[in-house]
Structure 1
Amino acid sequence: MSDTKAEKRISAVVSKWFYTEPLQFAICTSHAIVPNASLTVPFRSGKKRIEFAPEVLDKLTDEKLLFYLNLEVTRILLGHPYQRKPYNAKPAVLSMASDAVIWQLNTRNRKTDENEFANLPGVQYLKQMAGPHVTFPDMNFEQWYKYILDIVLKSKNAQSAGITSIEGFEDSSENAELWEENEEALNDIKSDIEDAIIKEGYGKDGGEVERAVTQGVDFSFDYRRALSKFRQNVVSSNRKLTRMRPSRRYGFKAMGSRYERKANILIAVDVSGSITDESFEHFIHAIKNFFFLGIIENIDLIFFDVNLKLTKPVSYKKKIDLKEVKGMGGTNFQVPADYYAEHKSEYSGMIIFTDGDGEPPQIDGCASVLWILDSRINFEKSRQWITKICNCQATFLPF
Structure 2
Amino acid sequence: MKTYFDTQVEKLYEKANEVITIYLSTNHKDENSQVNIPEDFKKEFFSLVDKVNLSLMEDKDNFYGYFLFQTSREIRFDISSPTAINFKETRYVIYFNPIIFLTLNINQMATTIKHEILHVISMHLIRSKEFKDRYSSLAINMAMDVVVNEYLDYLPPYATTLEWVNLNYSLKLLPYESFEYYVEKLQTAIALLESAKDAPADDLNKVDNDTDGKIEMDYNPEKTHDLWEESSDIDKKTFKEFTEKFIDNSQKGNIPNYLESIISSIKSNENELPWNLYLNRLMGTVESSKKKTITRRNRRQPDRLDLRGELRSHKAKIAVALDISGSISDEEFKQSIKEVLNIVKNYNHEIIIIECDDKIRRVYTVKSASDVKNRINIRGRTKFTPVFEYANANKLNLLVYFTDGKGETELLTMPRGYKILWVISGRGDTLSLKEPYGAVKKLSSIEMKDDTLELNDVVRDGFSMNNQQGTFF
TM-score normalised according to structure 2 size: 0.42
TM-score normalised according to structure 1 size: 0.49
Q: Greater helix share, 1 or 2? A: 1
